[in-house]
Amino acid sequence: AASFQAAQRGLQTWWEIVFPSLLPFFIIAELLMNLGFVAFLGALLEPAMRPLFNLPGCSGFIISVSYISGFPICAILSNQLRRANLCTKNEGERLLSFTSNASPLFMLGAVSMGMYGNPALGPLIAGIHYLSNLFCGLILKAFSPSQASAVIREKRILRSAFRAFAASSQLKTKNFGQLLGETIRSTSLTLLTIGGFITFFSVLVGILQAAGVFNLLLKLFYPLTIFFKIDTHLLQGIFFGFFEITIGIKEISRSSSGLLAQLLAIEALLAWNGLAIQAQVTGMIMDSDL
């Protein structure tokens, strides 16, 4: 019964939140890459991306998508960028590290409206989450090998962008209908895979909860909850969120702790992503060297 209910909860999360928020971005982003638009944009953005993050210009597209979509789409796009040799291994890994943003639909809709019924919380939660990841990208620049970009010194950037577009566009070998069909098939398969990850971890959390593992952890940490005056629902939400953030944040929203404590816990879980998201990201980059 615990397994069945947890599977239903996982599938509901996937169908109502993840599927509608990711499907259009998956299709559009992959289509733009196949059409050569990302390579075109990359040549234009190179003069800005190198000084800021020491990343190729085409990474600007992925950074933009990370703020309007959510994980694990940026892992998929970073993987495609690396496989197309549009970035080095170091650049791909740094890009992957700071573009794993939560979906704005999740933070503004599911969390602030669905769980708290307070639309004012959404921009605050999203703003902290996005800025922390952006600062992470700026800091990671220090761990990258310095390199001078030939594109930055090139006088005719627009001509370079059109050359990049012509070189990377798959329209030379396939028509638009073929590209669209392949894109929809691959994105549908990817979304099913993501649904499998979400359901698996939802069932795992359900089984651990039914087996009393979380109650045991709460008893072990009980002295700390008394000393720091932490509500058990808040602590339990953090335990849940370690595996799957949606379940964890929902539990945190039921806590009697102050709003500041709840927001701190939510931001920590969003930063961690949860094992479910980390497994998704790992699954999306397994055919590359990232």
Q: Crossing angle, helix 73-83 and helix 59-68, to 10 degrees? A: 170
pLDDT band at 76 (very low <50, low <70, confident <90, very high): confident
Q: Is the pTM of this model over 0.95?
A: no
Tokens 């006088």 identify what position?
155
**Average pLDDT, stretch 47-76?**
83
Question: Highest-confidence range of 60-74, 176-190, 219-233, 238-252, by mean pLDDT?
Answer: 238-252
Closest CA to 76 of 137, 30, 23, 13: 30
Give the tens place of pLDDT for each residue, 116-137.
888 899 999 999 999 999 999 9
Give the tens place of pLDDT for each residue, 140-155.
988 887 765 444 455 5
Peptide bond into 72 cis (omega under 30): yes
Separation of alpha carbons 213 and 101, rounded Å: 30
What is the residue-wise DSSP string for 87-141?
A: S-HHHHHHHHHH--PPPHHIIIIIIIIIIT--TTHHHHHHHHHHHHHHHHHHHHG
Give the tens place of pLDDT for each residue, 240-250.
899 988 888 98
Separation of alpha carbons 180 and 10, rounded Å: 29
**Average pLDDT, stretch 44-48?**
78
For residues 126 and 108, is the Cβ–Cβ distance under 8 A? yes
156 secondary structure, DSSP code: -
Separation of alpha carbons 12 and 56, rounded Å: 38
User: What pLDDT was estimated at residue 260?
Assistant: 92
- Compute CA 70 distance to the chain's CA centroid, rounded to the nearest angstrom: 4
Separation of alpha carbons 127 and 103, rounded Å: 12
User: What pLDDT was estimated at residue 147?
Assistant: 63
**Average pLDDT, stretch 263-284?**
91
Separation of alpha carbons 60 and 46, rounded Å: 8
140-149, 188-197, 214-223: least confident range: 140-149
**Average pLDDT, stretch 43-57?**
82
User: What pLDDT was estimated at residue 126?
Assistant: 93
**In angstroms, how far apart are the furthest CA atoms of the chain?**
67
pLDDT band at 267 (very low <50, low <70, confident <90, very high): very high
Q: Is the pLDDT of residue 254 over 50?
A: yes
What average pLDDT is seen over the chain? 84
290 secondary structure, DSSP code: -
Give the tens place of pLDDT for each residue, 155-173.
566 776 677 667 667 777 7
For residues 62 and 74, is the Cβ–Cβ distance under 8 A? yes
Q: What percentage of the chain exceeds 90 in pLDDT? A: 21
Closest CA to 191 of 21, 29, 65: 21
**Average pLDDT, stretch 65-74?**
81
